[in-house]
Amino acid sequence: MTTDALDGVLDEAGARLDDAVALRRRLHEHPELGNQLPDTRDAVLEALDGLGLEVTLSTTTSGVVAVLDGAEPGPTVLLRGDMDALPMPEDTGLEFASRVEGAMHACGHDSHVAMLAGTAKLLAARRGALTGRVAFMFQPGEEGHDGAKMMLEDGLLATAAAGAEPVSMAFAVHQSPTIPSGIIATKGSSLMASADTFLVTVRGRGGHASMPHHASDPIPIACEMVGAFQSMVTRRVDVFDPAVVTVARIQAGTTSNVIPETAELYGTVRTVSEKARDAVLADIEQVARGIASAHGATAEISVLRGYPVTVNDVDAAQLALDTAGRLLGRPRAIEMPTPVMGAEDWSYVLQQVPGSMAFLGTRPKGVAPRDTAPNHSNRMVLDEDAMAVGIATYAGVALSWLDAARRT
Ligand SMILES: [Zn+2]
Ligand SMILES: [Zn+2]
């Protein structure tokens, strides 16, 4: 008779749920922003205390790498939970709502920390049967602060594998209230988009609004660019390698009878391949310069490159789906038909190690899809019961990977 590495995992995760909920609520009440999260780090260290993990603190951030060494040597698996909140007010009315003005855990990273700590406890209790090791990455600064990149530069992968085999697989979970509670969803290849910001400054010549021929009005030129960017996307971007270009802010002028000297367009570019990303950023520049020059004006373009495309390794994504299917039943493991256009700094880790990210459905029970407040909403709430599924999936993916490596 063969034993299944996943036997008992869902029950063991369920037994960790109360602890995880308590930790999540504690973090939810005290959200912290950016890369320095001292209270959150303290809570993580407290939760891991006594598990016998090798703990290393990031020197540049509040990140924590905690390593569980199995009874037998083998490959290293990295599991990640991000820790930071968003700079925004909370309007959920929850009894454990944020007590910090202007900060809210609206992306559910509080639940990620709590689930990963629960996973560390679950796997530490199974240490005797573990062939290989599991590195737990608690990461700050996901919300636009390059936290994962900083931890990589800090030596994350070397710390995770110190004295053992290198990290051979990396896995992360992200909760989402737009997916029914307890579902695991992911896909191979591109999972999330790149996110770059652009600023176009159209420079004309100011003048009197009643005599535009004595000026060079940047406003109609800027408006033409907004439309041209959309034609550019539909005519020049492969529909099967899509892009989104959104001008989200237009700024020009001060009053009704003055033609201003400049107009500014500020927006975002999302793509799901690095090829489309480079092409669209170049096209924006060409279109903006061409239109400005056609009207005797100039355009300056500056691009702030943000997170790259999050690319799941095909086999690692399949492992996550198979593991979730075995744990939860096949219908609760869903292969997504398309990527989503949000962005993630987990992408930097996946550029260096094959791995994947999966979404965990957390839509509160009894809430209709159209009434669901998504991530980043001031009213975002999540079904905490789903955290047991998250813990089981984190643990299950690590166990499946190490078990498969042991058999080969
Ligand atoms: Zn977020
Ligand atoms: Zn997030």
Question: Is residue 343 located within the same domain as residue 313?
Answer: yes
The reported pLDDT for the residue numbered 303 is 97
In degrees and rounded to multiples of 5, residue 155 shows phi and psi of: 100, 25
Question: Is residue 163 located within the same domain as residue 249?
Answer: no
Picking from 279, 304, 329, the residue at the C-terminal end of a domain is 304
How many alpha carbons fall within 13 Å on the CB side of residue 298?
A: 4
The reported pLDDT for the residue numbered 1 is 42
Question: Is residue 86 located within the same domain as residue 226?
Answer: no
Active site residues: 307, 384
Ligand nearest to the CA of 109: 2
Q: Are strands 184-186 and 333-335 parallel, antiparallel or unpaired?
A: parallel
Picking from 259, 284, 304, the residue at the C-terminal end of a domain is 304
Asked if residue 392 belongs to a domain, the reply is: yes
Asked if residue 62 belongs to a domain, the reply is: yes
pLDDT less than 50: residues of the chain: 1
Ligand nearest to the CA of 374: 1
Whichever domain contains 241, its CATH number is: 3.30.70.360
Written as one letter, the residue type at 227 is: G
Q: What is the DSSP letter of 340?
A: B
Interval between CA 84 and ligand 1 midpoint (Å): 9
β-bridge partners, 30: none
Distance in angstroms between the alpha carbons of the first and the last residue of the chain: 18
Token pair recorded at residue 198: 């652009």
Question: Is residue 62 located within the same domain as residue 130?
Answer: yes
Q: What is the pTM of this model?
A: 0.94
Asked if residue 165 belongs to a domain, the reply is: yes
Asked if residue 94 belongs to a domain, the reply is: yes
Question: Is residue 166 located within the same domain as residue 285?
Answer: no
Interval between CA 252 and ligand 2 midpoint (Å): 34
Interval between CA 225 and ligand 1 midpoint (Å): 30
Residue numbers of the domain that contains 259: 198-304
Interval between CA 143 and ligand 2 midpoint (Å): 7
Interval between CA 262 and ligand 1 midpoint (Å): 33
Asked if residue 3 belongs to a domain, the reply is: no
Give 230-239's long-range contacts (Cβ < 8 A, gap of 24+): 232/280, 232/283, 232/284, 232/287, 233/280, 236/279, 236/283, 237/276, 237/279, 237/280, 238/276
Question: Is residue 221 located within the same domain as residue 105?
Answer: no
The reported pLDDT for the residue numbered 215 is 98
Asked if residue 395 belongs to a domain, the reply is: yes
Whichever domain contains 33, its CATH number is: 3.40.630.10
Domain count, the chain: 2
Ligand nearest to the CA of 106: 1
The three-class DSSP label of residue 93 is coil
Question: Is residue 207 located within the same domain as residue 245?
Answer: yes
The reported pLDDT for the residue numbered 271 is 98
